[in-house]
Amino acid sequence: MVATSDICDANSSLLSTGELKVLLPLFKPYGRRQAFSGPVVTVKVFEDNVLVRALLESKDHQGKVLVVDGGGSIRCALLGGNLGQIAHDNGWAGIVVNGCVRDVDEINGCDIGVWALGTNPVKSKKKGLGDKHVSVNFAGSLINDGDWLWADNDGILISKHQLSATS
């Protein structure tokens, strides 16, 4: 895994043009994987995690990062221990949630990286409302399905293409 700071250093011109974006530092890390990267799969929901589960259960996303735009709601959790284990079992690299998680001790036992705004013990609704594979906008950045994401303890980066730490 290439450090986000090294990617920023090697691609400073892309930071200037906005081709490489840094998410605002709003998120907290969970899970055993301290750093992860991969192509982005997006989902936009509000206090409903049916589509989150459907994507995580898919076997077609190995090595990818699920970006969940939960509208920034902190009134319930969009991801818990069961979904963390499903993500691990299906080979997801990581998950970024613009919302909350729960069952943190279970998530922390999974070999997956999860970044979220915080925790809330309340489960989400189960209506199946939302959209998959759409552009989402949170933490100061537009994120598109298919973008590339890197996350580590220094922050979260987004780019349209995979980048290296060599200029």
| 167 pLDDT more than 90 | no
Task: Report the C-alpha gap between 161 and 165 in whole angstroms.
Answer: 13
The predicted-structure confidence for 21-49, as pLDDT tens digits, reads as follows 999 999 999 999 999 999 999 999 999 99
- Both structure tokens of 55: 């994507």
Share of the chain above pLDDT 90, in %: 95
Q: Is 140 within any annotated ligand binding site? A: no
Is 81 annotated as contributing to ligand binding?
A: yes
What class, spelled out in words, does domain 4-159 have in CATH? alpha beta
User: Residue 149 pLDDT more than 60?
Assistant: yes
The model's pTM: 0.96
CA neighbours closer than 13 Å in the CB half-sphere of residue 108: 8
137 labelled ligand-binding:
no
> What DSSP string describes 61-128?
-TT-EEEEE-TT--SSEEE-HHHHHHHHHTT--EEEEEEEE--HHHHHTSSSEEEEEEE-SSBPB-S-
Q: Beta strand 113-119 with 28-30: parallel, antiparallel or unpaired?
A: antiparallel
Residue 80, annotated as binding a ligand: yes
- Residue 94 in marked binding region: no
